[in-house]
Structure 1
Amino acid sequence: MTAALALLGYAVLVGVLAPLPLARARWTYRAPRLAVALWQGLALSFLTALVPALHHLAVPGGHLHLGLAGLMHLCGVDHPAGQALGGGWRLVLPAAAALWPLGRFTAALARTARHRRRHRALLDLVAARDPELGAHVLDHHVPAAYCLPGRRSRIVLTRGALDLLTPAQLAAVLAHERAHVAGRHHLARTAGDAFAAAFPFLPLARLAARETPLLLEMAADDRAVRRHPRAVLAAAMYRVADGQVPRAAFAAGGPAALLRVRRLLAPATAPHPALRVAAALTTAAAPVLPLLFTCGPVLP
């Protein structure tokens, strides 16, 4: 029981209290990739605390460090036939807690993949591929640029964007979209959305789903400005900011374009190395910390 209470207290700490200062921290905009990893690490930490806590409540005295043999023992598999399924029902609650967010993530992946597949089929009908740009050009007057990530990714530009952007701005926009595809940013965003759908009243889930898309856009900006001037990318983002894009896509513009333009034009210094190391260690350690309660010495 003590272990269960400790795990539940840790889950409350990670799920309710920890995300509040992280959401207000400004260093996250200076290291967006690290911030995304930290949000995901906290989400995993919450789950690795919740599931063992429910396990301890359902199976008092049962410890996960026993491995497969211990799990079989808890399920009654190693018992005589007449007692084989005696306590297996107790694992329903912790199993459901583990499978629920996994199921939401799988469903979200399938749903967004279905939307992207339909949009790709539409693009194949109405857009022309430009081999030199490596993008599909849509005959539409409103400037817009976006990518459909995934195995059969598409980078899409409207005719309005091609007419408005200079060659340098166009190259910067394409670099931004390619960064989304290469970084598989859709997986991180889908994971955040699925976690929020699984635990809609949890501050960690809501804030992670809110912050992750913006941080991913900033991460793509950072990769693009490795080869292109900041002012050029900022000007391009301003010009395509009003373009409408599919929900499953990443856009060069979008509602947060003004914040990203300001960030590009007034870059802040990188976070102190000590802060980066601390955040990286927290990201790596957070998912396994709850296991100390479960796999450590047996608590009364």
Structure 2
Amino acid sequence: MGTLAPYLLARASWLHRAPTAAITAWLGLAATFVVSGALALSHLLLAEPHVHDGLVGLLTACGLMTGDPVRAASPTPADLAAVLLPAAVVLLPALVLVRISWRTRRARRRQRDMLALVGSPAPQYGATVVEHEVPAVYCLPGRAPRVVVTSAALRVLSDEQLRAVLAHEHAHIAGRHHLVRAAVEAFARAFPGLPLARLAREQTALLLEMAADDRALRGHPREALAAAMYEVAAGQTPHAAMGAGGSGSLVRIRRVLDPYPKPGRATGLAVVLTSAAAPVLPLLIACGPGV
């Protein structure tokens, strides 16, 4: 799950054609790794014979079901490790996520306070305009979301192009893409060096932008969005913000102008259902003999 599967998923030909389903697949793979890792540690470290009888054996060893008497002796260091290490696999990414969310929320609050001082509201666009010599469009998601446009972007973009790229940013906000990015970032920091963590972070960042592109294309021409993406490609976004530019702009522009046929709804639904069911598979394997 952590080494082979991510490379296979990264090479799949359908990822860019169905970015939302692909994001679900990466999240499902990460969740499956956490569950399978915790169960594998429990299975290897617990010496109780009941544990190897599946779910019933595990509950019996914990004293939650009747069976052979549970040892009355004090827990040994091995017993503690058998509980703490699997718990750490589950709790570590959760704790990192809490830390990232707190820091990101504080950074966004500072950015909003700064925008209140230097920005000018543009209600006709539902955005805030700031003076800057580089064209850039980005959003600050969260509880009080803001879409920011630089003065240079207003000068170089036509009205149609500007509204297309603004729709891209509003898609980020409406889709709560910042939550997905935070979850993947927490997983990557919790398991540094793991191929799954590295590839999931890289792929998900690009797929989130593609998902926002698809949402914007529902109401705007492809040429307008592609032109706007080209103009703001070099724009830098603050920490905790999500921008329309970035390193993946060229790939996204080509995708927008020359789209591949999207997979059918049945295929997308199958990917989503498989991704949601994948974390349950390790539980069935570990607990199957006792069920």
Q: What TM-score, normalized to structure 2?
A: 0.89
Unaligned stretches of 5+ in structure 2? none
Give the partner amino acid of 1:211.
Q
Question: 1:262 corresponds to which residue?
Answer: 254
RMSD of the alignment, in Å? 2.4
**Superposition deviation, residue 274 in structure 1:** 5.7
d(CA) in 2 for partners of 1:142 and 1:263? 24
Percent identity over paired residues: 53
d(CA) in 2 for partners of 1:89 and 1:197? 23
**Superposition deviation, residue 277 in structure 1:** 4.3
Aligned residue runs from structure 1 range 78-227, under 5 A:
87=79, 90-227=82-219
**Superposition deviation, residue 89 in structure 1:** 5.8
**Higher mean Cα deviation, 144-153 or 276-285?**
276-285
Question: 1:17 corresponds to which residue?
Answer: 4
> Are residues 1:242 and 2:231 paired?
no
d(CA) in 2 for partners of 1:124 and 1:62? 59
Change (3 A) 1:22 1:88: closer
Q: Report if the CA contact (8 A) 1:172-1:236 is conserved.
A: yes
**Higher mean Cα deviation, 165-174 or 219-228?**
165-174
d(CA) in 1 for partners of 2:220 and 2:32? 38
Name which of 23, 41, 46 aligns with 1:54. 41
d(CA) in 2 for partners of 1:107 and 1:66? 36
**Superposition deviation, residue 242 in structure 1:** 1.1
Name which of 224, 230, 241 aligns with 1:232. 224
Change (3 A) 1:109 1:71: farther
Alignment: residue pair count: 281
Question: 1:65 corresponds to which residue?
Answer: 55
Where 1:215 maps in the other structure, the secondary structure is: helix
Question: 1:283 corresponds to which residue?
Answer: 275
d(CA) in 1 for partners of 2:56 and 2:98? 29
**Superposition deviation, residue 132 in structure 1:** 2.0
Where 1:296 maps in the other structure, the secondary structure is: helix
Unaligned stretches of 5+ in structure 1? 1-13
Question: 1:37 corresponds to which residue?
Answer: 24
**Superposition deviation, residue 28 in structure 1:** 0.4
d(CA) in 2 for partners of 1:26 and 1:119? 38
**Superposition deviation, residue 62 in structure 1:** 3.0
**Superposition deviation, residue 281 in structure 1:** 3.2
Q: Report if the CA contact (8 A) 1:58-1:93 is conserved.
A: no
